């Protein structure tokens, strides 16, 4: 594994496993958020708060067996729909979803955990299962998802900080 900071402040950890030997690939991103774990959880699980930092047209029922659906626009004008189902739900510490795009023939797993740190929260996102992606597309999918998740986590950090400040009356 290697770690490097991103421009948004997220620490990006990427697996260097050898796919050809069955090791697979996993994305791990860690985002510091200047908000309490409770406020970060609210921003994940309350629809209005979630839509404010993800996308207005996203649908997410953050509950056991809940569904996630969000359209996306990719490179070169390629659009799609990401879909997931919550398979583990641990308020206020995190959740796990089985994740795929509508045109994929495979599923991946996204795990999100929220833990307190000395100045707020750490949000850790693990996205695994990439070894099931077709070899010609795998590197591009990993790069696209790393960029997308990094952007979403930065938006979460910004919004949750504002949400926390409003709750505290600032």
- Structural domain count of the chain: 1
Give the length of the chain: 170
- CATH of residue 28's domain is 3.30.530.20
* d(C-alpha 98, C-alpha 15), whole Å: 19
DSSP character at residue 35: S
Q: Which residue has the tokens 């591009």?
A: 140
Its domain, for residue 159, covers: 2-167
DSSP, collapsed to helix, strand or coil, labels residue 167 as: helix
Query: How high is the pLDDT of residue 165?
Result: 78
- The helix/strand count (H/E) of the chain reads as 3, 9
Each residue's pLDDT, cut to its tens digit, for the chain (170 residues) gives 344 444 444 454 433 222 223 345 899 999 999 999 999 999 999 999 999 999 999 999 999 999 999 998 876 667 899 999 999 999 999 999 999 999 999 999 999 999 999 999 999 999 999 999 999 999 999 999 999 999 999 999 999 999 877 877 86
Radius of gyration for the alpha carbons in the chain, expressed in angstroms and rounded: 16
Query: How high is the pLDDT of residue 166?
Result: 81
First to last CA, the chain: 40
Query: How high is the pLDDT of residue 109?
Result: 98
Q: Which two tokens stand for residue 77?
A: 């004008």
pTM for this prediction: 0.84
Query: How high is the pLDDT of residue 25?
Result: 83
DSSP, collapsed to helix, strand or coil, labels residue 155 as: helix
């Amino acid at each position: 594994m290697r770690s490097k900071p991103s421009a948004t402040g997220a620490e990006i950890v990427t697996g260097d496993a050898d796919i050809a030997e069955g090791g697979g690939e996993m994305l791990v991103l860690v985002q510091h958020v200047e908000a309490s774990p409770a406020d970060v959880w609210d921003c994940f699980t309350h629809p209005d708060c979630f839509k404010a930092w993800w996308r207005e047209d996203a649908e997410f029922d953050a509950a056991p067996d809940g569904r996630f659906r969000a359209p996306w626009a990719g490179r070169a004008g390629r659009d799609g729909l990401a879909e997931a189902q919550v398979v583990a739900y641990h308020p206020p510490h995190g959740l796990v979803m089985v994740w795929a795009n509508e045109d994929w023939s495979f599923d991946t797993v996204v795990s999100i955990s929220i833990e307190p740190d000395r100045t707020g929260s750490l949000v850790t996102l693990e996205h695994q299962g990439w070894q099931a992606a077709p070899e010609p597309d795998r590197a591009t999918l990993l790069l696209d998802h790393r960029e997308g998740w990094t952007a979403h986590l930065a938006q979460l950090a910004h919004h949750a900080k504002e949400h926390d400040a409003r709750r505290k009356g600032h």
